[in-house]
């Protein structure tokens, strides 16, 4: 296993102190999964006190003591940060993720210390000096079986976030949740243990599910099976809502939504902030169908569902995060997700497309609409082509409004240059000129100046 040189150096020093350094947690799991290792966590066995460990680490880099009371020292070296910790036990003594009594013990065995971890695949270790793996609970075998299994029920239930972690791990790695772990998680949901979790922790698991999973649908299906959707009525409401089979032969709104979410994964850019906006946009795009679907003898419609979806989207997102800017960026993607197809069908005028750019980022909107269009089983979707989206992108690119609305030809300084005196009427005149630009009456700055001279007397007289 590849170990940073600085950790090897510290391990050698610990050996001279009759202590032992063991890499633990996700680094070992990711090694066997052949994934990039981003974080190295090291447990130190054989020292009597955290102060001794702190002194050793200070010889090689800087130490942040923010987690010392929990048995963790954050060590920084050459721009990288590593967690060094003592083996410890955790006992639930109060509600919340801070409600644990942490007891460190340098003489504890690895098996005893790793019992507090959530799943077997996260409970393995690597003895740096011996260059051997330690696997007290069969994590390596579970990786081979693609099985997610908890270690000990009594400790697992002490942190209800582990139910959400089970969901995102299964989706990220394509694992099956062990039967006994499934039943335990379901019991925790039924006993309302998840209610004590702060939204920030839930949001973190949602982001991992959406950004790190090749098929987030696996996680959402598991949430449905575990009854976690009771906490998210906007998602649960999609289950069983029928759709017109002509446009949605794949099934109900829930099925379509999960297919669209999986499709959006293929459009990710690597920019986490942008990708998260896109993923939430497609996850929420049909929320309005829960209230606006009408079943008639000869057809099924959901007229107005795109606008009706804005309010439930807002409720859902504010339930899991306070990221106001993110939420506000998702809402127009939901409200206008049908625009690309409608505009293409009607061959919308340039002025209509310009007005759309005032309300939503067109490139982002087309991405959501593309995932919506391809996330179904129609012949058109299976072809992989979204003609309407490609058309709108080309039109927006030609109008230079792909990622932003048109830049105003006329600004305040232009009015002053024409000899007009600043007043409250300036805004009316500028707004009027911009509206004319959007509508296509003004195509250049020169035409804008002519427009201003022609209309200034009317506006400035107000």
pLDDT in tens, 75-108: 999 999 999 999 887 665 556 556 556 677 878 8
Structure tokens at 228: 């976690």
Q: Which of 378, 379, 388 is nearest to 244 (CA)?
A: 378
The CA-based angle 379-382-387, given to 5 degrees, is 80
C-alpha to C-alpha distance for 321 and 327, rounded to whole angstroms: 9
Q: Is the pLDDT of residue 458 over 90?
A: no
Distance CA 448, CA 462 (A): 20
List the strands of the sheet with 20-24, edge to edge: 62-64, 72-77, 80-85, 41-45, 20-24, 125-127, 132-134
Question: What is the three-class DSSP state of 169?
Answer: helix
Name the pairing type of β-strands 72-77 and 62-64: antiparallel
Q: How far is CA 336 from CA 18, 115, 307, 321, 352, in A?
A: 65, 50, 8, 23, 13
pTM of the model: 0.92
Tens of pLDDT, residues 16-67:
999 999 999 999 999 999 999 989 999 999 998 899 999 999 999 999 988 8
**What DSSP designation does 309 have?**
T
Residue 462: what pLDDT? 46
Domains delineated in the chain: 5-139 (3.30.460.10), 263-406 (no CATH), 412-460 (no CATH)
């Amino acid at each position: 296993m590849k170990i940073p040189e600085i950790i090897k150096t510290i391990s050698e020093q610990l050996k001279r102190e009759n202590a032992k350094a063991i890499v633990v947690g996700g680094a070992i799991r990711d090694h066997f999964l052949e994934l990039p290792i981003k974080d190295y966590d090291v447990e130190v066995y054989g020292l009597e006190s955290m102060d001794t460990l702190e002194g050793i680490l200070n010889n090689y880099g800087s130490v942040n003591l923010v987690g010392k009371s929990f048995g963790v020292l954050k060590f920084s070296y050459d721009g990288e940060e590593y967690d060094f910790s003592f083996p410890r036990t955790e006992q639930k003594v109060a509600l919340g993720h801070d409600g644990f009594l942490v007891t460190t013990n340098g003489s504890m065995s690895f098996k005893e210390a790793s019992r507090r971890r959530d799943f077997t695949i996260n409970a393995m270790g690597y003895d740096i000096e011996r260059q051997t793996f330690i696997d007290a609970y069969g994590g390596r075998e579970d990786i081979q079986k693609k099985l997610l299994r908890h270690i000990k029920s009594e400790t697992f239930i002490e942190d209800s976030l582990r139910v959400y972690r089970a969901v995102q791990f299964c989706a990220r790695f394509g694992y099956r949740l062990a039967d006994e772990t499934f039943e335990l998680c379901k019991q925790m949901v039924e006993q309302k243990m998840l209610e004590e979790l702060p939204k920030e922790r839930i949001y973190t698991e949602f982001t991992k599910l959406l950004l790190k999973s090749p098929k987030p649908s696996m996680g959402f299906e598991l949430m449905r099976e575990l009854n976690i959707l009771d906490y998210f009525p906007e998602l649960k409401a999609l289950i069983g809502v029928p759709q017109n089979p002509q446009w949605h032969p794949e099934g109900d709104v829930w099925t379509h939504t999960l297919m669209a979410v999986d499709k959006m994964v293929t459009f990710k850019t690597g920019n986490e902030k942008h990708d998260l906006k896109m993923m939430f946009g497609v996850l929420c795009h049909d929320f309005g169908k829960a209230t606006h679907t009408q079943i008639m003898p000869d057809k099924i419609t959901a007229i107005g569902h795109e606008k009706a979806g804005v309010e439930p989207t807002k409720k859902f997102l504010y339930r899991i995060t306070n990221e106001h800017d993110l939420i506000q960026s998702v809402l127009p993607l939901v409200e206008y997700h049908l625009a690309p197809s409608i505009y293409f069908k009607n061959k919308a005028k340039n002025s209509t497309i310009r007005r759309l750019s005032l309300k939503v980022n067109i490139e982002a909107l087309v991405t959501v609409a593309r995932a919506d269009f391809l996330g179904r089983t129609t012949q058109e979707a299976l072809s992989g082509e979204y003609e309407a989206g490609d058309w709108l992108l080309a039109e927006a690119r030609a109008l230079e409004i792909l990622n932003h609305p048109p830049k105003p030809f006329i600004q305040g300084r232009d009015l002053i240059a024409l000899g007009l005196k600043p007043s409250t009427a300036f805004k009316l005149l500028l707004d009027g000129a911009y509206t004319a630009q959007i509508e296509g009456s003004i195509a250049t700055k020169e035409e804008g100046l002519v427009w201003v001279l022609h209309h200034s007397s009317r506006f400035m007289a107000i």
